[in-house]
Amino acid sequence: MYNLIGAGLIVIGAGIGLGQIGGKAMEGIARQPEASGKIQTAMIIIGALLEGLAFGALILAG
């Protein structure tokens, strides 16, 4: 039961984080479209790091 609540909290946290990353990357691309390639790469890396953390926590929770 508690691990399900924990899993929910993890997903909420990861969702907020991914939203921040995606949103900020969009803003960056809108400001400087010519840098979109670099911004995308950085976005994917940060997203992957966040995902690794979230998955690690989810496996511990499950």
* Tokens representing residue 10 in the block: 């993890």
Size of the site for another protein (CB under 8 A): 12
Q: Express the helix, strand and coil content of the chain in percent, nearest 5 each.
A: 95, 0, 5
Euclidean distance between the first and the last CA atom of the chain, given in angstroms as a whole number = 10
User: Restricting to residues 2-61, which ones interact with another protein according to CB under 8 A?
Assistant: 41, 44-45, 48-49, 51-53, 55-56, 58-59
Shortest Å, Cβ 55 to another protein: 4
Q: Which residues would be at the binding site for another protein (CB under 8 A)?
A: 41, 44-45, 48-49, 51-53, 55-56, 58-59
